[in-house]
Every structure is written in C-alpha cells, then in structure tokens.
Amino acid sequence: MAGDDKAPPPLRPDIDTVPIEHEGQPMYLIQDPEELAPQGMAISPAGMLIASLLDGKRTMAEIAELFSQRAGTPFDAAKIKPIVAELEKLKLLDTDEVRAERRRILDAFKKNPVRKALIAGSGYPTPAIELAKFMGAFFRDPKGPGQPLADKPSKNAPPLGLVAPHIDLHRGGPAYAWAYGALADCPPPDAIVALGVAHASPNAPWTLTRKAYDTPHGPMSVDGELYDAISSELWYDPLDDEWVHRKEHSLEFQALWLKYLWRDKTPPWVPILCSTFERYSPDKPPSTVPSVEKALSGIGARLAQAGKKRRIMILAGIDLAHVGPRFGDDIKLGPETEKKIETEDRASLEHALKLDADAFYMSGVAGGQWRKVCGLSALYTALRWIKALSDGGSSQGRLLTYGQAPDPLGGIVSFASIEFPRP
C-alpha cells in the first residue's frame, strides 16, 4: 500500500460507474465490463470522488488536499487508504497485476479460433432440454407472438433483412420470439451478414472477426467469401479491434437464436460490430463522411453482386432508447417519459421501414441525442445494405413488435423487431 508520499495506482479507465440508491442513500456502483474484477463495488459519493482523483500521479496527501478543496471540509489522507485497498483488492485499479491478467486473456482470445459463448449459463441455460423450455416460453408469453415456431416454412424465400433486440433474454425474450418466429417461417438464407453494437466503441466503424461464435448447439461458422468481400472495401484492418467481440453480447444472442432455429442447417455468417458513428457525424448522416460513405457504398455493391447468386440476409441485433439515471440522465421516469420515448422511437422506425437510412439516423441524433439510441450506427448500416440487396429499395419493412423494459439500476430501454421481406 502506498504511503502519503507515494501515488497509488490509477482507477481503471475502462470501468463503468452507475449511480444507484442503497437503503435510501445515494451510492455509486463500480463495475468491470471486462470482468477481470471478481465483483462490483458500491461506494459513497465521497468515496467516488476519491476514486476519480486516483490518476497514478497524485499522492495520498495530494488527493486528500484536493478532496478538501472540492468538498469544502478538512480530510485526513489516512481515510483514503482503505478505499484504495478495497479498489485494488477488487482489481478496479490499473495495476501491473491487472494489466498482466488482461494480456493473458486477450492472448488466449487471439489464439482461439472460436469466440466462446460467455453469457451461456448466466444469460441462458446450456443443457438442451432446459434451453428449449427457456426459449419456447417466449413464444407463449403475453408479449410474444402467441404461437410456437413453424414446423416447416410456409414462405419460399428468406427475408432480405431482420432486426431483433440485443437486450438480455429475460427482459426482451418475447420480442426476440417475434423476430425469429418470423424467420422460422422461411427457409434459411445462404449467408448472413450480422451487425451488432460494439458498446466499447473502438475507433474503427466496423470490427470483424473470423472466429466462429460458439453456441449450445454448435459454432456459427464464418462465410470466408463474404468476409473477404467486405474487408476489401475497408481502409483499415478489420481485425485491429477484434478484442471487442470477446465480451460483446449483441451478436452472441443472435448466434444463439439462429442455431436454435436451424441447428446444423444454419448458414454461415459474417459477424460485424459497429462503433458509434455519432463521434464524427453528430449532426449529419454518415453518408456525408467520405471514407464511411465509400465503404458503405462499396460493400453494398459487393453484397448486391453476391446476392445475384446467393440469398444473403442482413441481420441487425440492436436496441433503441436508453434513458434514465442509469444512463446519466437527470430525468423523472414514468408514463409520460415512456410515451415520449415510444412516440419518437416509432417516428424513427417509420424511416427505417422505408429503408431511409439518412432520415432514420437524423431522427436518432435529433434533440441532442437524448434517447441515446445505442443501435443507431448498426441499424443505419443494415438499412444501407438491405437497400443495396433490394435493388434500389423496393423492400418495405414490417414492424413485428415494439417494447420497453426497465433497467434495474434506473432507466428505460426500448427495442423492436422488424422483418424486411424479399421482393
């Protein structure tokens, strides 16, 4: 443990902090999205202020002095030591031990040809009988489609596109059932281009992987031909940030559902995680950014060409609004806020149903991006490529369901399921 004259390790820059209420008192929950830490840590506002001052350069004495200045009351540096000790014990500080553990995990991920199903067991059961019961219940849920999966397809062709949620199954399972129930009524496509959300949002707009996503029903293999076609239109190495696939859940849930539907008949896919376009396109559509537009158009053209010989489907695993204290908002939640979210979500979805990607994007960033549509970039990309496959945009989307769910730490998350039939 560092003394008053030594700087303790800095707080990890990759952790999440969430305001919560515990026994009527305001608190903060510090969480580790990489799951290097064995558990989260609830900390008082004063403790959170101390944690935020840990930069690896300030000594205990300097932190105590800064705390006194900001809090307006004298503060003893000795009180900082137990906070630092607990943070370090829970691996929430950027220590040599944590960095070594991170390197070990990432090296193992890079060497493994399979992306492990990391939510299996916690987010959904893995034994076949339990999983079938778990998934099947969503179809019978009052918010679900009310009918089981079709025994055999009644349609002759798979859709051009499908939009499903990526919220956890316990809250969004019935909405998934709407999307994948519609897909079960179709024969499988020949290949799938799947777009998920890179919540870690690295600099690259799109991050690919050649790794097969594992599921309880076997791995989702990657379509090498489509992978090469897509990556050839990018101005960077699409594997530079491949690490984001390790912990990202948005495509793991889609892989689970696809293999649940089709087992060994599941077609290969190209899994792509999308970063936040808003960082370089905050008030204009991404089509106005030359490098992004060139890639979107080039990939769209290659997909259209490949689509003349193979039935390709674009799949987007996205959620919509994220509003409330959990997401940094000082806003009162209730029926009025829920209605406002739904009204604006549905207006955005109307643009999506018409494959008007630019209008959809602009509706998402309107009003200072107050809804924080986390699937904005992924769905924008999906709409562009569905339109390319539809030979100019003759496919009209069909909204299957819309829903909202509370966040347990205070907030509202919305989502939808959409089918884009093949013309």
Beta bridge partners of 115: 213
DSSP state of 156: S
- Residues 64, 75 contacting (CB under 8 angstroms): yes
Return the ∠ at Cα 84 (arms to 81 and 85), rounded to 5°: 85
Q: What is the 3-state secondary structure (H, E, C) of 176-195?
A: HHHHHHHHHCCCCCCEEEEE
Record the tokens describing residue 202, joined without a space.
């690295």
Q: Which residues of 299-317 are buried (b: 16+ CB within 10 A; e: fewer)?
A: bbebbbebbeeebbbbbbb
Alpha carbon distance 261, 263 (integer Å): 6
Q: Which residues of 379-399 are buried (b: 16+ CB within 10 A; e: fewer)?
A: bbbbbbbbbbbbeebebebeb
Nearest Cα to 200, choosing from 236, 238, 247? 247
- The pLDDT, as a whole number, for residue 175 is 98
- The pLDDT, as a whole number, for residue 189 is 98
The structure tokens 């018409």 sit at: 354
Record the tokens describing residue 378, joined without a space.
């992924």
- The pLDDT, as a whole number, for residue 1 is 45
Domains and CATH numbers, the chain: 16-105 (1.10.10), 115-420 (3.40.830.10)
Q: If you count them, how many residues does the chain have?
A: 423
- Report the DSSP pairing between strands 212-213 and 114-115: parallel
Residue ranges of alpha helices (H) inside 263-334 are 290-306
CA 294 to chain centroid, in Å, comes to 25
Alpha carbon distance 138, 347 (integer Å): 27
pLDDT in tens, the chain (423 residues): 455 578 999 999 888 787 777 778 888 888 887 778 878 888 999 999 999 999 999 999 999 999 999 888 888 888 899 999 999 999 999 999 999 998 999 999 999 999 999 889 989 999 999 999 999 999 999 999 999 898 889 999 999 999 999 999 999 999 999 999 999 999 999 999 999 999 989 999 999 999 999 999 999 999 999 999 999 999 999 999 999 999 999 999 999 999 999 999 999 999 999 999 999 999 999 999 999 999 999 999 999 999 999 999 999 999 999 999 888 888 889 999 999 999 999 999 999 999 999 999 999 999 999 999 999 999 999 999 999 999 866 679 999 999 999 987 789 999 999 999 998
- The pLDDT, as a whole number, for residue 38 is 78
Nearest Cα to 164, choosing from 410, 399, 407, 408? 399
Global model pTM greater than 0.85: yes
The helix-helix angle for 80-89 and 60-71 (nearest 10°) equals 110
What is the amino acid identity at position 162?
Answer: L
- Residues 207, 244 contacting (CB under 8 angstroms): yes
Beta bridge partners of 193: 270, 314
Across 46-113, the runs of DSSP E, i.e. the strands, are none
- The pLDDT, as a whole number, for residue 226 is 98
Q: How many CB atoms lie within 10 A of CB 28?
A: 21
The count of C-alpha atoms lying within 13 angstroms of the C-alpha of 32, restricted to the half-sphere facing its C-beta, is 19
The structure tokens 């347990």 sit at: 408
Beta bridge partners of 270: 193
Beta bridge partners of 312: 191
What is the amino acid identity at position 24?
Answer: G
The structure tokens 């819309």 sit at: 402
